[in-house]
Amino acid sequence: MKNQLTGIVSIAAFTLLFFLIAAGPGHTADYQTLTPLLIDFEGWNAEAANGMSLGTGNQTIHNAGRKYIHGDKEIQAIIFVGPQAMTQGQMQQMKAGTAHDNNMTMTKIDGFDVTMFYDQPENTTMIMVFLSQNQQSGAFLALTCEGLEQDDAVNIAKQFDWNAMKAAAENLF
């Protein structure tokens, strides 16, 4: 399971790296419409939200992220908007599987497609909420939660305003 999580994160990182290398002058402030959506959680210490927007030709990517810490628990939350999110959206076509200590679940929550990976030995959950997609671009919220059971991670993920994220992402398409 850890290899699956690493693979998914690697695909997203590689795509982002490609755009960083190929980037011309970007839309430097556009990501700032996403950072306020990475809210504070009571009892959690949070770093300031940050992000970037980069453009290549007629394609632009945006991301905003924030790290949260509560004791030995940690959450990384990232909103991705751009062509790389379409590839991640195609993961919805994968078949969910279950291993002895790991599982992958695909479901709908509040009308959004959600994919969850849980690695029991590592007590790590990755949640991907597919916010929106059109023919050229897509958007998703990705959370990596360390030290949290899957149900607790889902409860935290649901505190984000997915509809507001969807609207902000669609304004960036």
**Neighbour-count burial of 6, counting CB atoms closer than 10 A to its CB (0-12 exposed, 13-18 middle, 19+ buried):** exposed
Under DSSP, the state recorded for 59 is: E
Q: Kindly report, residue by residue over 26-66, the tens digit of the pLDDT.
A: 444 689 999 999 999 999 999 999 999 988 777 889 999 99
Nearest residue to 13 (alpha-carbon basis) of 88, 71, 72, 95 = 88
Burial (CB count <10 Å: 0-12, 13-18, 19+), residue 7:
exposed
What pLDDT shows up at residue 14?
A: 42
Separation between Cα atoms, residue 157 and residue 134, nearest integer Å: 24
The b-or-e profile of 83-93 (16+ CB within 10 A means b, else e) is bbbbebbebee
Of the candidates 122, 120, 90, the residue with the CA atom closest to the CA atom of residue 106: 90
pTM: 0.79
Which of 97, 171, 90 shows the shortest CA–CA distance to 128? 90
Lowest mean pLDDT among 4-18, 53-67, 133-147: 4-18
Tell me the per-residue pLDDT of 101-139, one tens digit each, with 9 for 90 and over. Answer: 678 899 999 999 999 999 988 999 999 999 998 888 899
Query: What domains does the chain contain, in order, with CATH numbers?
Result: 2-172 (3.40.1000)
CB neighbours of residue 101 within 10 Å: 11
Rounded to whole angstroms, the maximal C-alpha distance in the chain is 48
Tell how many helices (H) and how many strands (E) occur in the chain. 4, 8
What confidence score (pLDDT) does residue 35 get?
A: 97
Distance CA 11, CA 4 (A): 11
Task: Reduce the DSSP state of residue 25 to 3 states and report it.
Answer: coil
Inter-residue contact 137 to 82 (CB < 8 Å): yes
Residue 95 has pLDDT above 50, yes or no: no
pLDDT for res 142: 96
